[in-house]
Chains A and B, each alone.
Chain A
Amino acid sequence: MRSLFFQILLVAGIGFFGYTIFQNTLHNLEQRGISTGFGFLDNEAGFGILMTLVPFDETYTYGRTFLVGLLNTLLVAALGIFFATVIGFVMGVARLSKNWIVSRLATVYIEVFRNIPLLLQIMFWYFAVLRPLPGPRQSIKMGESVFLNNRGLYLPSPVYEQGFWLVMVALALAIVASILIARWAHQRQEKTGQQFHTVLVALSLIIGLPLLAFLLAGMPLSWNMPELQRFNLTGGMVVIPELAALLTALSIYTGAFIAEAVRSGILAVSHGQTEAAYALGLRPGTTLRLVIIPQALRVIIPQLTSQYLNLTKNSSLATAIGYPDLVAVFAGTTLNQTGQAVEVIAMTMAVYLVISLGISMFMNWYNKRIQLVER
């Protein structure tokens, strides 16, 4: 009875607190003549953005700035998760290597990058590494058509000509065929015991079939090469230094944590498992694939999830070097120009919440699938 009373009191207190804040905000906005609601999203933004994945200029709306920022955030998060995972798995395994130099190098990498604040690392890559690069005219050339300078990394961009759809169709066919072959090979092994080099065949299909279509269609692809003009490079595509710096820092920093997760996962599988598999005649590769990795994954996955979430949320540090992510563009410039703090911040927070919950739900589902059954 008494606890019920205090609980009601607590809820009432929190409710009153929220209500006060809400009223206070409304009052302040009214006084400054700012109208509430999401109408501002249709107004013209009037500012430019450094990098956009969809068409954008000053005449587009504030709503469009949200989309541009969101796509930039998703881009850096997705690429970051990919590279951090690759770095993490390689380094995690390397730290366990029997080779002294390899394991020492991995250890140094992990301990250095795990223990320096991320913001500092982002600034390091941006201000100390990429900004001091020479200007466009003194670009560092890598081959004939790749240039690196303080405005970014210039790469040739592909131009798809007529008939390229044939290649895409061939790729799709190859993927479908590979899936069917994998199924067939699995069933055949169940029935007859014969094994099949599924991976090899699938790889050669996925590479070979589109290549054949490409050649048959008369090579319908050309490259738009970046060329050095008087003051700048034109053509090709460019990875701006802000993106490069942020991506590098996020991947290397998170990769160090993932490496530790991978190492602990592998160490968590006792050596007896390997010995038992060897004693049964299984080869090291098969042992790793069928015995060690499935068990290591159940230790690695939860930690991997939290690292993916961290990386996504940490990508908002983009603001520090001016990479136009959601926080910099929408919760930065758009908020400053419109003053619609409540709406803008709410939308931005909702985005991170949705992304994080999405990743988390997927990883939980996956984790449940591979969990061990105990009594």
Chain B
Amino acid sequence: MSESENASGKMQVSDDVTIELRGVHKWYGQFHVLKDINLNVHRGERIVICGPSGSGKSTMIRCINRLEEHQQGRIIVDGTELTDDVKHIDQVRREVGMVFQHFNLFPHLTVLENCCLAPIWVRKMPRREAEAAAMKYLEKVKIPEQAKKYPGQLSGGQQQRVAIARSLCMNPNIMLFDEPTSALDPEMIKEVLDTMIELAESGMTMLCVTHEMGFAKTVANRVIFMDGGEIIEENEPNEFFNNPRSDRTKLFLSQILQH
């Protein structure tokens, strides 16, 4: 039995669809970034999205919490369709957490305040409750002792773990990761990946744009390869890495797996 089957065996994937993209198109001016994207994500599923830069993978996951607008097609998250309606957008953003390549922590707030901001102002939680919840998540990402420090005083890996904890404080059903380890020094990548693996084991629905193929092999149920704004290939990790079907996938894999 391979490692990946081991891991996925522990984690249940349900049948109900939590994110649905149907015929999604997006343009930046004349540039066609997303071309007819169709994707169903099931509850508890962990999807890794890879592909060359400019292939539209970040844009796609940023459409899921409406940081980018799609111009054609439908995106339905947890039963709420993303339209211009602010209420729908609020609803979706409350349920979907996101972790960015450059952490985007608020530098003028302490780690604890970073984590409490949204629960207090969006979920209308009492401060003491919000702080208690935040400490719980900071312990989960193993940096409760940094709670009173400011982001500028932490290392990159620590900052990214705070960013993960900050998202979790909103109790999201779905987590989006936009190249979470790309801006980190090599020695810090592992601590962030470990946190993400733990999160996956807790049954969180996750969409990760990443080039960490080891992570894809251990954690993902499905790997999606995008190029030129299209989904070229999707498969479960073993098949994907061992028997890629399209030539573009083979080329991409040969380039990133060389080392």
Footprint of B on A, CB under 8 Å?
Answer: 189-195, 270, 272-273, 275-283, 286, 290-291, 294-295, 298, 370, 372-375
A191, B118: Cβ atoms under 8 Å? no
B124, A273: Cβ atoms under 8 Å? no
Within 8 Å by CB of B126, from A191, A270, A373, lies A191
A295, B128: Cβ atoms under 8 Å? no
Chain A residues closer than 8 Å to B123, beta-carbon distance: 193
Query: Is B259 engaged at the interface, CB distance under 8 Å to the other chain?
Result: no
Selected interface stretch from B37-45, B103-111, B247-255? B103-111
B152, A375: Cβ atoms under 8 Å? yes
Q: Which B residue sits closest to A283, measured CB to CB?
A: B90
Question: A283-B90, A374-B153 known; A272 and B100 CB under 8 Å?
Answer: yes
A291, B121: Cβ atoms under 8 Å? no
Can you offer 30 A-B residue contacts whose CB atoms are under 8 A? A189-B127, A190-B127, A190-B128, A191-B126, A193-B125, A193-B127, A272-B100, A272-B104, A273-B104, A273-B106, A275-B67, A276-B104, A278-B93, A279-B65, A279-B100, A279-B167, A280-B93, A280-B97, A280-B117, A281-B94, A281-B118, A281-B170, A282-B118, A282-B122, A291-B117, A295-B107, A372-B107, A373-B149, A375-B152, A375-B153
Query: Is B166 engaged at the interface, CB distance under 8 Å to the other chain?
Result: yes
Chain A residues closer than 8 Å to B105, beta-carbon distance: 276
Q: Mark B44-74, 1 if CB is under 8 A from A, else 0.
A: 0000000000000000000001010000000
CB distance from A290 to the nearest CB of B (A): 7
CB distance from B243 to the nearest CB of A (A): 36
A370 to B125, CA, bound (A): 26
Query: Is B216 engaged at the interface, CB distance under 8 Å to the other chain?
Result: no
CB distance from B107 to the nearest CB of A (A): 5
Task: Known pairs A281-B93, A372-B152, A373-B149; list 19 more (Cβ under 8 Å).
Answer: A190-B127, A195-B121, A273-B104, A275-B67, A276-B104, A276-B105, A276-B163, A279-B167, A283-B90, A291-B106, A291-B117, A294-B108, A295-B106, A298-B108, A372-B107, A372-B150, A373-B153, A374-B152, A375-B153
Chain A residues closer than 8 Å to B198, beta-carbon distance: none
Q: Mark B73-110, 1 if CB is under 8 A from A, else 0.
A: 00000000000000000100110111010101111100
Interface centre among B90, B117, B163 (most CB of A within 10 A): B117
Footprint of A on B, CB under 8 Å?
Answer: 65, 67, 90, 93-94, 96-98, 100, 102, 104-108, 117-118, 120-130, 149-150, 152-153, 163, 166-167, 170
A283 to B127, CA, bound (A): 19
B67, A280: Cβ atoms under 8 Å? no
Q: Which B residue sits closest to A195, measured CB to CB?
A: B124
Within 8 Å by CB of B150, from A191, A195, A295, A374, lies A374
Chain A residues closer than 8 Å to B94, beta-carbon distance: 281
A195 to B36, CA, bound (A): 43
Chain A residues closer than 8 Å to B150, beta-carbon distance: 372-374
B102, A272: Cβ atoms under 8 Å? yes
Chain A residues closer than 8 Å to B96, beta-carbon distance: 279
B90, A281: Cβ atoms under 8 Å? yes
A295 to B125, CA, bound (A): 24
Chain B residues closer than 8 Å to A290, beta-carbon distance: 117, 121
A112 to B14, CA, bound (A): 64
CB distance from A209 to the nearest CB of B (A): 29
Chain B residues closer than 8 Å to A286, beta-carbon distance: 121
Q: Which B residue sits closest to A374, measured CB to CB?
A: B152
Question: A275-B67, A281-B118 known; A193 and B129 CB under 8 Å?
Answer: yes
A196 to B128, CA, bound (A): 18
Chain B residues closer than 8 Å to A291, beta-carbon distance: 106, 117
CB distance from A268 to the nearest CB of B (A): 11
Please provide the 3 A-B residue pairs with the shortest distance between their CB atoms, ordered closest to farther.
Answer: A276-B104, A280-B118, A374-B152
A190, B118: Cβ atoms under 8 Å? no
